[in-house]
Structure 1
Amino acid sequence: MTVDGGRRHSWWQGLRESVEGADTDLRPEGLMHIVPAGLGPAYVKFGDLYPEQQLQLQLLYGASQRAFERTTRVAARVTVQRVLHNALSDPRLEDAKPNDHLAEYLDEEIADLRGRLAQDSATAVSRGLNVGLTLGSAASLVLLAVPLLWGVALLGALGVTLNCTDRWHLLGAFVCGGVGALGAVLSVLVRLRGNAEQLTKRQNSVGEGLVVPGQMARSMRHEGVYRVVVGWILALAVYFLLGGGLVPVFEVPATAADICPSAAAPGSPTKGTDFWGFWCAIGFVAGFNERWAFGILGRESTRKPKSA
């Protein structure tokens, strides 16, 4: 492999890991596998005197091998190895009873490791959701570009003729839906600002153990795309309800009939500005309320706590 080929492969692997997470370790290790040579008896006594800390280190060592980011995996695994080596080499391990200071040291290190891995899970959730929103937004741009640039030509090739009013109706629907997708993206970003921790807890509250961060990232990527689609559908529904006069909440400032000339009226091209502005605003508001669908966060996590 050439140097340029190796760089491209490394760049692509880094990009893939930033989206999918680090590759799965096919040969995970247990805590016993990293016991330094000659400290086997000390490890047995460590388990007898500090069973809770040994269990927590075992669980955290397993979780470190499933971390989302490779740097977190390396740092967490090295930390567990260092903490275990320090504990097994500590002279206080020779005491007949657990030493309070050694136990406090272990508890502090365990709490720090939990914080690192919790942050790694939050990163997986946030990145998965951001990637999903990006993919949904890109798909929205394609859905907008195709009908706006080639829609009339494609329908003409199929033998379908559109008059001026038909064109404005279709273009209004697509623009309203596209802006609704952007409104949905903004709605998700606003609600999730500072709430990644709550979202991570919700992903893990399945009652069957912790979810691997890579799986959380994939789940939230699908959720992000789903949110954009919800924004599209809500905006289109509002467009058809208001445009068709089914819900006469207020008067539409400009319709396609007002813009296009006809035998009864000359039409007014300047009305097009009112048409676009009105439906873009309606689409954005409708898409912003994608929270009507099943919430990413529970309602209690998006409300401000009451002051005492």
Structure 2
Amino acid sequence: MGDKNGGLRLWWSRCREVWDGAEVEKRPKGLADLVRPEDDVNYKVFCETHPEQHLEMQLALGASQRVFDRATGETVQRVLKGALRNVLDDTCPKGKSDDYVRDYLERELAEIRGWLDQDCVTAVSRGLNIGLAMGAGAGVLLLALPLLWGLRALNHLGITLDCDDRWGLLGVFVAGGVGAFGAVLSVLVRLRGSVEQLARRQAVGKGRAPVPPRQLARRLRHEGVYRVGVGWILAMALYFLLSGGIVPVFTVPATAADVCAPAGAPGPAVDGTEFWGFWCAIGFVAGFNERWAFGILRRDTASRTNKATT
């Protein structure tokens, strides 16, 4: 029974790591904790002779204890421990071999910085993908509920819809649902090859301090849901504009009235496929251009910043 509960806890812990990243270590370690007792003297010499490298290693160790991917943190700590041991074994009390130690640590730290940057990229990609999946799932739910139970709920409330009303409302939800998937595709297309830039853009403050990876994932998860919501709204807005004739850009090939026309009515018969196909295409195009909202926000922010500086 104990093994079963332990397996469930391990499974739940791994699921949480996939969702929100690895837990921050409750007992953070310092660089001195990686030093063997017999190396205390050499460690003091190293701190005095190489303060910049010591600071870089200390910062890397701190960053490794709040990474998004646990394996990355463990790898960084192992490399730091090995590098520190090599340096202390080669450092003599007179502080010789400074150039060798400096070059060696710079190479190790360069690799560590690359791993930590990649960890931030993983956090951004994971958070955004989960947010998009959540938004797409919510879009499917919002699309399925009206189609499956909407008419039943209205009939239970004593509201009766004729053919035109049913096709019109269903057209709204279908256009919005397809717009949500258009927004997902739009983000995925732009995400390819630009995750590193997106991770760097999340830095905050005057010094552009990096955001912790778990917070990055959480922020981008909300961003993904927001993008899908924008796709929904844009698609529905475009549906109302075109179906209502407010923006007569082009003639709608099939309306709800055309589909519901009685037999023997003048004009060619209209198949419902033309109605669905047209509004699905319109919804997808509107959702795919969800980037419009981000551009508007950026221009607005930039204008406020310019006004504040002037």
Tell me the TM-score normalized by structure 1: 0.91
Moved more, 269-278 or 39-48: 269-278
What is residue 194 of structure 2 aligned with on the other side?
195
Q: Percent same amino acid among aligned pairs?
A: 56
Gaps of 5+ in 1: 300-308
What is residue 24 of structure 2 aligned with on the other side?
24
Tell me the TM-score normalized by structure 2: 0.91
Corresponding residue SS for 1:38 = helix
Name the aligned partner's letter for residue 116 of structure 2. L
What is residue 138 of structure 1 aligned with on the other side?
137
Instruction: Give every structure 1 segment of 4 or more consecutive aligned residues whose post-TM-superposition deviation is greater than 6 Å.
Output: 266-269
Aligned-partner Cα distance in 1 for 2:267–2:104: 80
Residue 288 (structure 2) pairs with residue 288 (structure 1): yes
What is residue 304 of structure 1 aligned with on the other side?
none
Name the aligned partner's letter for residue 72 of structure 1. T
Moved more, 145-154 or 200-209: 200-209
Q: CA deviation at 1:241?
A: 0.3
Two-structure CA RMSD over aligned residues (Å): 2.2
What is residue 147 of structure 1 aligned with on the other side?
146
Q: Does the Cα contact within 8 Å between 1:165 and 1:257 map onto a contact in 2?
A: yes
Distance 1:126 1:269, change over 3 A: farther
Q: CA deviation at 1:27?
A: 1.2
Deviation string 1:222-264 (CA, Å, 9 cap, x unpaired) is 0000000000000000000001000000010000000003499
What is residue 123 of structure 1 aligned with on the other side?
122
Residue 44 (structure 2) pairs with residue 40 (structure 1): no
Q: CA deviation at 1:2?
A: 4.1
Q: How does 1:255-270 map to 2 (within 5 A)?
A: 255-262=255-262, 265=265, 270=270
Q: How does 1:97-112 map to 2 (within 5 A)?
A: 99-112=98-111
Gaps of 5+ in 2: 300-310
Aligned-partner Cα distance in 1 for 2:81–2:246: 67
Corresponding residue SS for 1:294 = helix
Aligned residues: 298
Name the aligned partner's letter for residue 112 of structure 1. E
What is residue 50 of structure 1 aligned with on the other side?
50
Q: Does the Cα contact within 8 Å between 1:253 and 1:278 map onto a contact in 2?
A: yes
Q: Does the Cα contact within 8 Å between 2:180 and 2:229 map onto a contact in 1?
A: yes
Q: CA deviation at 1:49?
A: 1.3
What is residue 171 of structure 2 aligned with on the other side?
172
Name the aligned partner's letter for residue 215 of structure 2. Q
Q: CA deviation at 1:38?
A: 1.9
Aligned-partner Cα distance in 1 for 2:162–2:191: 44
